[in-house]
Amino acid sequence: MRLLYRPKAVGLENVPREGGFVLAANHVSNFDPWAVGLPLFPWRFLRFMGKSELFWFPLGAIIQAGGAFKVRRGQADAEAIATAARLAREGHAVVMFPEGTRRKKGLVKKWQPRAHTGAARIALDAGVPLIPAAIKGTDALRTLGPLRVAYGAPVPLDDLGGREPREAAQEATDRLMAEIARLEATL
């Protein structure tokens, strides 16, 4: 991996060594979970929300072993949100891709990428930090392009406590996506 893709991660000091948090990143490839997780291994085991369509035999068993749990896309999956918030409260690192689907693909997609408020809702509900991250290069693995990840400082959430939950989640998501875009520009 190091020889072929020359991975580089910056901002690792922004990722908590202990306690729960939500790590939210842009999404360009099926390999994004590996890219965002490898720089944190072995000191953090990450938990991922994965679309329910991936949980078929034998792939489902493999991705569950890698820390994934199901989410039903295209609907408000309260069970998946509750699971993620519980995991974060218990001290796990929960990884989310707020766009909900990969950005680029040759096919017409049923769900186009746009920022959803789930990552912010989970962080606010669980009372844990919301850490932005940006990934570059996972869409160019066949050409052996370099793999880059940047982790940002936690998104400020303290001032959102008195707001209505939907409004607070939307404001936190707007802040998160702006920070992810800023991090992407540095890669």
pLDDT score for 79: 93
- Name the residue ranges covered by the structural domains of the chain: 20-186
Q: Output the six-digit token pair for 56.
A: 């078929």
Residue 69 forms beta bridges with which residues?
49
Q: Output the six-digit token pair for 27.
A: 């999404």
Q: Are strands 46-51 and 68-71 parallel, antiparallel or unpaired?
A: parallel
Q: What is the pTM of this model?
A: 0.88
Read off the pLDDT of residues 13-61 as tens digits, 9 standing for 90 and up.
Answer: 999 999 999 999 998 888 898 899 989 989 999 999 888 888 889 998 9
Read off the pLDDT of residues 130-146 as tens digits, 9 standing for 90 and up.
Answer: 999 999 998 877 777 78
Regarding the domain with residue range 20-186, which homologous superfamily does it belong to in the CATH classification?
Glycerol-3-phosphate (1)-acyltransferase (3.40.1130.10)
Sorting pLDDT into bands at 50, 70 and 90, what band is 108?
very low
Q: What is the rounded average pLDDT for all residues in the chain?
A: 88
The CB-side HSE value for 109 (13 A sphere, CA atoms) comes to 13
Residue 6 forms beta bridges with which residues?
none
Sorting pLDDT into bands at 50, 70 and 90, what band is 113?
low
User: Residue 107 pLDDT > 50, yes or no?
Assistant: no
Average pLDDT over residues 169-175: 97
Average pLDDT over residues 113-139: 92
Least confident of 86-90, 108-112, 156-160: 108-112
